[in-house]
Structure formats: C-alpha cells, structure tokens
Structure 1
C-alpha cells in the first residue's frame, strides 16, 4: 500500500534521463531496427544514462534519431532548462517527512493494549469487525487477524490439495514483513472517515492491540497482558514471522541493486530470455503434459437433474442450532485460542475453566469476561447461549 502526504513536495526533472519503455527480457548488447538504411530505434537491456541494467529485467529504448522505440520524441525537451525552485529547508523536510521506516527511528509515543482496545471499539470496529476478525456486513475492509500469526504464517507455503486444506492466510500478523507500515498507515490514513486525526499515542495503542490479537512477540515475549505498553523504544523488537518471506531482499542501501540483480535472471520469476528486439509470439509456454483419467466417467448416479429449486433446509435439533451459533460467533476465538480463549476440544483448558462450576461459566459468558463480549456479541437469549456453552463443553470432554 502507498500513500503520499499532500504536503510533501516532489521535484521532477525531465532533462536528465532518456525516455524508456520496458518490455521483454533480452540480452546485454543493443540491437537496432532500420528503415531504408537509417536506424529507426535501438533496443537495449541497459539504460543509456547510467549504463546499468534495466531494473525490472526488461529492455529500454534509448532516444535515437528522434525516436524512443517506435515512438517519436521531442528531443528539444531534453535540453530545455527548467527552474526547479529553491531547495527545501531542513524544517520543511522534517514537517513533510511522515514516513516510518522499518529500521527506525520511530516517532515518540506510547500506548497500551487496553487503551488500543478502547480506541478500536470506538473508531475501527465498524469496518474491521470484532477483535479485528473482519466485518461480514461490510466486506471491503481487511481482517486484521485470523489467530496466531506464527502458525498462520506457515499457511503461506501450503498447497491446497483438498477443499478442506487451509489456504494462505494473508493478514497483518502472518503476512506483513514489518509492523512499521501499520504504524505509519494508521497515523496518516485511519480512521477512514477522519485520517490524520489520531495522536501518536493512540496509534501506538492500536498497534499494541493488533499485536495482542495476532499473538505476536516483542523481544521474545508474547503480547498477552492488557497493560503491555508499546513505544518508540520497544517497537523495533516486534518479531514478525514473515520478515524474510519476500524476494528480492529490498532492505538497506543495496535494495535497488538487489532488485536489479534478481529481476535480470528470468528463471527467478518464470520468464524467458529473448533477443533484444525479440517478441514471444508463439510457443511461449513449454508443452503441457496432460494426465488422462484412466477410468472414464460416462454416467452419473443419481442422474443429473434439471431441477433448479434450492434444497430444503433440514430442521436441526438443539445441538445443530448451538453449533451454527458457535461457528458464526464463537469459532474465531475458541478455534484458535485468540485473546486467551480456551480452545474447543482442549480438555485440559476446559477442565480448568469448569472448576468454577458450570453456573459461573454461564454467568461469565452471558455478562462477558476479559476480551469476550456479553454472549459473544450475539443477541440470542440466555437459554440459547447456555446451549452453546453446553455444546462447547461436550466437545471438550
């Protein structure tokens, strides 16, 4: 994601660099196209203004005889002098520079998990859902968590072989390499109706709450305590599980050159090497080997039907209804153990909970406890809620 502060000034010079257009991956030496013995255009795998390879692995079209590739260019524009204005003062640069880099320095501020939860419920919940799980009625805003980030990061390399296999889970905790993007984006772009309205303290508090929801670690310790404070001193100690999950390596001063080296090896991303002026017009893919089904399917049992009515919904018993409520409103936390919730099927965890007595468990659930809202955020009756508790307990014996 990318946002540009409307106060930041960018000076663009059109006089130094030749106009270039990137295309297919080519060889290192330039080739040319001629019309009636006159060079029409030159194709090169390097830039003519610095001699370096094209950064995206493609080719460039240096300006020759008034053309950049097949496109005519006004060469006078290259020699026209422009007044670029005065240089920005250090104070102006400091005011405009709202970026937060992955390696700091981080802005001054502090906030706790509890403070972040309160701010989240007031300003973020409507779009991002309870506990950052995503709002089903909105749908266009991302979920901020799906459970333990370290476990979910493993799904990024999963191959889904059956419909039940869990596919890649890309949320803040499991996918993002650096938390600094969240700190910067929340401060400059959130909440959506009122961007830049949050203080740095509020922003730190919200990120602390996100760390808690994703069960992330700071300096080796999982953020569990609602009194945990995130600040400019410990922000750099957040341990993101997917920090090394991207290629090429763009961190540090060699980021551009690492990108250039990576993109100029076509096999790194499944491309082909062509001549400078080559185009892949046919046979661009290797022959696909088709695996034929050995036992041909010739009929269907039962036969295919042209009936288009929806199947009748089966009336389930109390357990079926309780299961439906659980899956809709409780599974987010009790399947993953998010926010300290005892997980479904974990006998030891539920044995500890049940030491209070079932009536106390009912009361805690109905009235809400810790991160759990009353009745799990549902509007069902007390009796219906108790049946959901019974369903969970029975599945955890």
Structure 2
C-alpha cells in the first residue's frame, strides 16, 4: 500500500509540474474534437469516454511515462494465503471445526445479547438478527396496510457463508477475531436455528465444514442479476440494458426529456411501526421514575461496553470490579475516562460529550456499583 501511495504522489507531482510548465510556456494543447463522444459500454448501461491526447473529456490528464516508479515486490505464497481469507458460498475458506447451536446460544447470551437483544430480537441502535418475513421484502409503499420490508438473517441474506465470515472477522464487538472455529460454527448454528433455517428439512443442531455446504437460505434466489461466476459481468450488463428491470417505464433520457410516463404513488403505506416521518425531532421519552441526565448519557454512550463485563470493561453494578477501579482514586479514573485507557478510546468514543459530562457519568457508574 505504501508503494502504491508513493506512486500516486509521484504521478500527482509530475502532473502539477507538467501543468505549470505548459501554462508558463503557453503550450497547452487544444482539446481534441468530439471530447464527449461516448461509448455505451459501462457496466450499468451508461457510457464511458476515451482518454486521448492528454485529455479526458474537458479535463487534462497526465500522459507522461511512469517508468521508474516502483510497484514494490511480488507477494510470497504465504502472504497471499494470509490475505486470501474470504469464505465463499461454495465452502471455499471454511475452517475445520464443529459447533452446536446450544453452545452458540450460551455464547450469544454472553457476547451478543447486550447489543442485539435476547434471541437476536434487536437492541438499541444495533441490527435485529432474527424474525422478519420473506414475503415483506416485496412490499412497497404502494401497499396500504402492510409492513415495510423486514431484512434479517433469515429473511434477507442469500448465503450463510456471509454470516460465518462476518462473525469471524468482526465479532464479538470490541474483541473481533477472537472466536475459535468451533465457536464460529456454534454461533452461526444458533443464529440460523433462531431464524428457522434447516438442513435437509431438520432444525440445525450442529454445524461443521461439511454440512455447512448443504445450507439453503430462504432468500437464496431473491437477488438478481446473478453476479457470481465467470458470466457475472455479462449478466449485469444484460440486466441494465433493459430499463424495465429497475423500474423505468421507458428508455433512458439524456436529451429532450420530459415526455416520459411518470408513475405516481397511488397509496402510501400507513401501518408501518414506527410510522414514516420527515420530522427530525427526537421522540419524547416518558418519565419512568427519576432518571438523571448522567444516567441518560450512560445509556446512550457507555452502556454498550459497561452493561456487562463481556467487553472487558468493568460492569456497572459489579462492586468488586469498581472497588478495584476506584483504588486508583477518582481523579485518575476521571482522567482515564476522558483521555482513554487500554482498549477504551477517549470518552469511550463519544467525543461530543464535555469533560464535565464524562465526570458525571463516571460518578453515576461508581454510585450504581456500591
């Protein structure tokens, strides 16, 4: 990457130098004729333009030789193996291991429920992982009385390989890449089971690198065009050649526009929860007992890590953990909260909070843990 950046810097510098010299000497070449002579060969059915005679349409480009710019060395076989770590729908890249859905449930309760809710039902600001309806994906706002599309693992994701791949590389929060292959399979098995996904008509009890390839997701055929395989690019080109595939009634309009048929929404969905709204006001919070401002800020910005000890942070309510923290003295605790300590970024990442607000949150957590 550094080699590439050096190349870009070198090219940019040479472009600036060339432009300066041409301008100083008054030798800027005239733009070629037909600079907007486009070819309809873009992947999405649009157009591209030629780069010729030092120009790309009305923009100058650097056509100087890049000879002598270092591209670095070729990667070794082991380096390529380390980078080529994706998990593909055909099973390529799956780790060797095995895990049960029951073990995955225990792991989920420990690491995931704090964000995604019990049984994957959804948490504050984090995606809902279970439930949803395959039928809802076709709902539009022209269907009164119907819910908007509900996209979850079971109702939307076309390939299970995406799930285990994401779990491996990005989960659990604050400790990504910490799961063993067995834990990865266990977590995937649990989430698929909660979504009603089966293998050979039976609920998933255990997953491994062999039976994983038998998984057929409910929405596997719900995406088009087919972008997989050697014909993927041609499939996309063919799809975009027909405007009706993406909702257009007539042909694409690039000139003399305004005569095309316009389809207007006849009935808008009104039974969506929460209802569609263009208001930007925050919803009113009903008072449920005395809730301090510090507690509200804690729930919004700090609870994701401090609600349990799953993230490695002292959990609010854990007297022993906070007694140990307070052994450093309140001044040091406030200093660490404001400036960051260990894996915790300054202010826990909530940089919009003032130092005084952070101190109030710390006071709330300490008092709630006595």
Match of 1:174 among 155, 170, 173: 155
Q: 2: distance between equivalents of 1:156 and 1:203? A: 28
Say if 2:120 is the partner of 1:128: no
Report the TM-score when normalising by structure 2. 0.59
Say if 2:165 is the partner of 1:184: yes
Q: Deviations over 1:2-36 (max 9, x none)?
A: xxxxxx9997998xxxxxxxxxxxxxxxxxxxx99
Say if 2:110 is the partner of 1:110: no
Say if 2:183 is the partner of 1:195: no
Q: 2: distance between equivalents of 1:11 and 1:171? A: 39
Q: 2: distance between equivalents of 1:107 and 1:283? A: 56
What SS does the aligned partner of 2:154 have? helix
Count of matched residue positions in the alignment of Structure 1 and Structure 2: 244
What SS does the aligned partner of 1:102 have? coil
8 Å CA contact retained: 1:40, 1:67: no
Q: Supply the RMSD in Å over aligned alpha carbons.
A: 3.1
Say if 2:243 is the partner of 1:266: yes
8 Å CA contact retained: 2:142, 2:265: no
What SS does the aligned partner of 2:35 have? strand
Aligned to 2:17: none
Q: Deviations over 1:173-208 (max 9, x none)?
A: 110100111111110011121111111111111110
Say if 2:229 is the partner of 1:252: yes
8 Å CA contact retained: 1:40, 1:65: no
What SS does the aligned partner of 2:33 have? strand
Match of 2:59 among 55, 71, 96: 71
Q: 2: distance between equivalents of 1:281 and 1:240? A: 46
Match of 1:141 among 111, 126, 129: 126
Say if 2:261 is the partner of 1:286: yes
What SS does the aligned partner of 2:71 have? coil
1:1-397 superposed matches below 5 A: 38-39=32-33, 41-46=35-40, 53-76=41-64, 80=67, 82-105=69-92, 106-135=94-123, 138=124, 140-146=125-131, 152-159=133-140, 164-223=145-204, 228-271=205-248, 273=251, 279-280=254-255, 282-283=257-258, 285-287=260-262
Q: 2: distance between equivalents of 1:240 and 1:190? A: 21
Shift of residue 170, structure 1, vs aligned partner: 0.7
Where structure 1 has 5 or more consecutive residues not aligned to the other structure, the ranges are 1-7, 15-34, 47-52, 292-309, 311-397
Shift of residue 108, structure 1, vs aligned partner: 1.1
Shift of residue 279, structure 1, vs aligned partner: 3.3
What SS does the aligned partner of 2:99 have? strand
Q: 1: distance between equivalents of 2:247 and 2:181? A: 43
Bigger relative CO (Cα 8 Å, ≥ 6 apart): 1
Q: Deviations over 1:207-234 (max 9, x none)?
A: 10001110111122233xxxx1101001
Q: 2: distance between equivalents of 1:290 and 1:144? A: 31
Determine which structure has the larger helix proportion and give its number. Answer: 2
Q: 1: distance between equivalents of 2:30 and 2:64? A: 25
